Structure formats: C-alpha cells, structure tokens
C-alpha cells in the first residue's frame, strides 16, 4: 500500500506531465499570482467561483468524463465555495458539496494545507493524504484489473 498521492520520482517541475503519466492534474481555485492565500480576502476569493467552476467543466469535457477525485489543499478555498462561513469542514472525503457544485460524479477531498501554518501533528497532517492515496491506489488497481 502507498501513502503518497504522487510517486516520489516526480517533482513540482513535472506537474504538466502528470495528467498523461498518472492521470493527475493540478489547478487553483483562483489563478492569481502569489502563494500567500492570506493576502486574498474571502470576498475577493468568492469572485473566483464562476471561473473555477467553468474550468472544472471545461477540463471535464476535454477529458471525456472528467475527474473522479478532486482534492483541495486547505479548508479555506473549499469553504469559500459554500459562500458562507457557517459550514464546518473536516479533512478527508466530503459528503456535502456546495449547492452549485458542477461535477456530481466526483469524490471531493479536503486536505490540510502543505504550508504548515495549521497547527497539527505530523500524523494529523498526513492522515487525510494517506487516506486519499489509498483510495487512488484502489482505483488504479481496479483500472488495471478491468483493462
């Protein structure tokens, strides 16, 4: 069993080949320069929602079937999609999706931010990643058996 979503032979420089190599792709909720999410207000981030949903649907059409899993690195970006601060988001697979969520046949995960700002133990931080990696490995095994 694996505990990594992406094999260790890959680095961030390989992100553009991962869709063809491992069927994994990356995007951001908002496509703006800067890596400090704290510099963006919730109100400003909410303006990203229509474009993010449009990109999800466009990627889904191009992939003829779309993603089976979507993972958010950090609670805040996922919580913004609900357009309310009253939703209590837990790490791991989500059972409740935003009202206007565009992809119904997809499993959605919220993972701890990799920034390390959230105060948690190493186990608390890694557990949701490990759970998702296990689900991806199961899916990969099913694919190999059926093809």
The reported pTM is: 0.78
pLDDT category of residue 3 using cuts at 50, 70 and 90: low
| DSSP label of 83 | T
User: Element (H or E) spanning 18, and its range?
Assistant: helix 18-22
pLDDT digits (tens, 9 = 90+) for 90-132: 999 999 898 889 988 889 999 988 776 778 888 888 899 899 9
Question: How confident is the model at residue 147, as a pLDDT?
Answer: 47
Closest CA to 111 of 86, 136, 141: 136
- Looking at the DSSP assignment, which residues form a beta bridge with residue 73? 111
CATH for 12-146 (3.40.50.720, 2.60.40.10, 3.40.470.10, 3.40.50.2000): 3.40.470.10
Residue % of the chain over a pLDDT of 90: 10
Task: Give the residue-averaged pLDDT of 4-20.
Answer: 72
Do residues 66 and 29 touch, judged by C-beta distance below 8 A? no
Mean predicted lDDT score pLDDT of the chain = 79
List, as own/partner pairs, every contact residues 81-90 make where C-beta atoms lie below 8 angstroms and the sequence separation is at least 24, other chains included.
81/29, 81/49, 81/52, 83/46, 83/49, 85/42
**Model pLDDT, residue 40:** 82
Both structure tokens of 52 = 């993010």
142 burial via Cβ count (<10 Å: 0-12, 13-18, 19+): exposed
45-73 mean pLDDT:
84
> Does residue 19 register a pLDDT over 90?
no
């Amino acid at each position: 069993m694996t505990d990594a979503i992406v094999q260790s032979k890959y680095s961030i420089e390989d992100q553009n080949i991962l869709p063809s190599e491992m069927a994994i792709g990356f995007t951001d909720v908002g496509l703006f320069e800067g890596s400090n999410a704290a510099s963006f207000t919730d109100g400003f981030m909410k303006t990203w929602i229509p474009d993010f949903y449009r990109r999800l649907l466009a990627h889904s059409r191009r992939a003829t079937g779309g993603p089976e899993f979507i993972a958010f690195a950090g609670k805040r970006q996922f919580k913004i999609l609900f357009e309310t601060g009253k939703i209590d988001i837990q790490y791991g697979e989500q059972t409740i999706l935003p009202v206007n969520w565009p992809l119904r046949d997809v499993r959605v995960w919220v993972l701890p931010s990799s920034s390390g700002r959230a105060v948690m133990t190493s186990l608390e931080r890694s557990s949701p990643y490990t759970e998702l990696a296990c689900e991806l490995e199961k899916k990969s095994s099913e694919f190999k058996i059926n093809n």
